[in-house]
Chains A and B, each alone.
Chain A
């Protein structure tokens, strides 16, 4: 069972208290727990991921979690362009789409926490030049960053 350690919870709570301004929604796609395993459909870390997100969302009144079933609510999944699980779409003061596929544990747990702060303030801390240049994009850009949980 994955769970955020008590002292880490306190730290995150304080960090959120200090850094969150506007609400942030975590839209999580998973599958319903079932005793019947459909080959290719079993989701090894869906339960653990949900637990992490629930705990994180509970640490600030400005963070909320919304849970959807990939198959039963396929129209919602399609609207977010989600085809695989576990998937977490983060919604706040962002202009583009910010998504996380897989369990946000280990090093990537801090990615999740810091992302939430960015999404809440809308402040990326990127340089003025970067922001200017990004405003000139004329085509869609899809970035995929592959990581491991260590």
Chain B
């Protein structure tokens, strides 16, 4: 997951990808209830456990990083 997140940031100026060694930052482990690794948090609201395939992870990133299209009325 660490590599995939960094690769995504390599490609988009919109992305900031942080890999965090959780035992050194226990306050974050607590804040995000990290019980198993890898755990991935996208924009505070999407939480993913375990390794994600590229295509699936992309969908979560798009969900977080695109304004929903306005529906014509």
Co-assembled chains A and B: yes
Determine if B73 is an interface residue (Cβ-Cβ < 8 Å).
no
Contact B23 A126 (CB under 8 A): no
Chain B, range 1-21, C-beta contacts under 8 Å to A: 1-3, 5-21
CB 8 Å contact bits of B17-45 with A (1 = contact, 0 = none):
11111111100110010100111111110
- Bound-complex Cα distance A95 to B32 (A): 27
Kindly provide the distance from the CB of A143 to the nearest chain B CB, expressed in whole angstroms: 4
From A98, A101, A143, contact of B61 by CB (8 A): A143
**How many chain-A residues does the 8 Å CB contact rule pick out?**
49
Extra contacts besides A96-B15, A124-B8, A139-B66 (17): CB < 8 Å: A90-B6, A96-B14, A99-B19, A101-B19, A104-B21, A111-B6, A126-B7, A126-B8, A136-B66, A137-B12, A140-B16, A141-B14, A141-B42, A142-B43, A143-B18, A144-B20, A145-B5
- B58: which of A94, A133, A148 is its contact (CB, 8 Å)? A133
Contact of A3 with B by CB under 8 A: no
Given A146-B34, A147-B20, are A94 and B9 neighbors across the interface (CB < 8 Å)? yes
- When the two chains form their complex, are residues A45 and B13 in contact, meaning their CB atoms are under 8 A apart? no
CA distance A126 to B58 in the complex (A): 10
Residue among A95, A130, A131, A139 with most chain B CB within 10 A: A130
A-B contact pairs, 15 of them (CB 8 A): A100-B18, A122-B10, A127-B54, A137-B12, A137-B61, A139-B66, A141-B61, A143-B61, A144-B20, A144-B28, A144-B41, A145-B17, A145-B18, A145-B39, A148-B37
